[in-house]
Amino acid sequence: MHNPTPLHAEFGVRLECPSIEALDIAALRQLIDRYSFIHIPGIASGDETHLALTRSLGEPEAEHVRLGREGKVAWFGTVGNVREDGTVRRNDHKETVYQTGNNMWHSDSSFRAVPSFVSITCAYETPDEGGETLFASQRSAWNRLAASDQTRLEPLVAIHDYVYSRTKVHPDAVMATHAASLPPVRQRLVRRNPQTGAKNLYIGSHAREVEGWSFEKSRDLLDGLLEETTADEHVLAHRWRPGDLVIWDNRCLLHRGAGFDADRYRRYMRQTRVKGAGPTLEE
């Protein structure tokens, strides 16, 4: 359905569809399980249809920054430098600096006890240069490992910690109330797609250490796996255009921002996330 065109040898597909309402949701779910990354150009049409699509894929996730800082439930986060009133945050604005935390490889919400299933992003204003989002498959990374390494890694648990990852960018990047709302969580290092049985690594910037291991030994493993997973030939770079709708599977993909010049360009994208099925340790 929707004429899927593959985008990379390992994952990713582009679909043609006239509108969000015309999407075949059952088929979309299968494409997510199989391709992990779905790009549908030209159909972003505002928050209402975006939220309806989100709900058709599951339960929306409350955006963690608003929740942590203000205790308010909001379904949308804004990616980029354009505020609600249309004004722009430039390179030296602290929120622009904090958002560069997204330029480290990560999986959205891996720092939550129930991490995200998919992120859904609609692009409205995009820079003429830069601002790509890069993606890499932790499923193909798993498949490239030697069987002996797979056996060694499979039982491990990683501690994911938002304060650990975000304070790398700036010591004040996480407000006290926000930090208190996101204590470190335990996640499986190796996950399995419940529909297909396909396994994948589950790492990224929020993964601080391996449970029961020293910090140094943990970093050796996690940094080495991350480097291998995200080597250039395994990366799909998505160049955003206004109207794009992109869905990615956070269970098995890593992504990061490539960065852009916020003094020269506007970047305005809206994002929702669908909650995962439960804690990864119970999968």
How far apart are CB 43 and Mn ion at their closest, in Å? 21
Identify residue 220 by its one-letter amino acid code: D
Question: CB within 8 A of 56, min separation 6: which ones?
Answer: 25
The 73-112 site mask, x for binding ligand OGA (CB under 6 A), equals ------x----------------------x-----x----
Question: Which residue number is nearest to ligand OGA in terms of Cβ?
Answer: 257
Sole binder of ligand OGA in the list 257, 268, 270, 275 (CB under 6 A):
257
Strands 37-40 and 13-14: parallel
Tokens 């099925």 locate to 277
- Which one, 135 or 142, has the nearer CB to ligand OGA? 135
The 117-146 site mask, x for binding ligand OGA (CB under 6 A), equals --x-x-----------x-------------
| Residue 116 in contact with ligand OGA, rule: CB under 6 A | no
Q: How big is the site for Mn ion, counted in residues (CB under 5 A)?
A: 1
Tokens 């490889």 locate to 105
CA distance 18 to 6: 19
List residues near Mn ion by CB under 5 A: 108
Residues that bind ligand OGA (CB under 6 A): 79, 102, 108, 119, 121, 133, 255, 257, 271
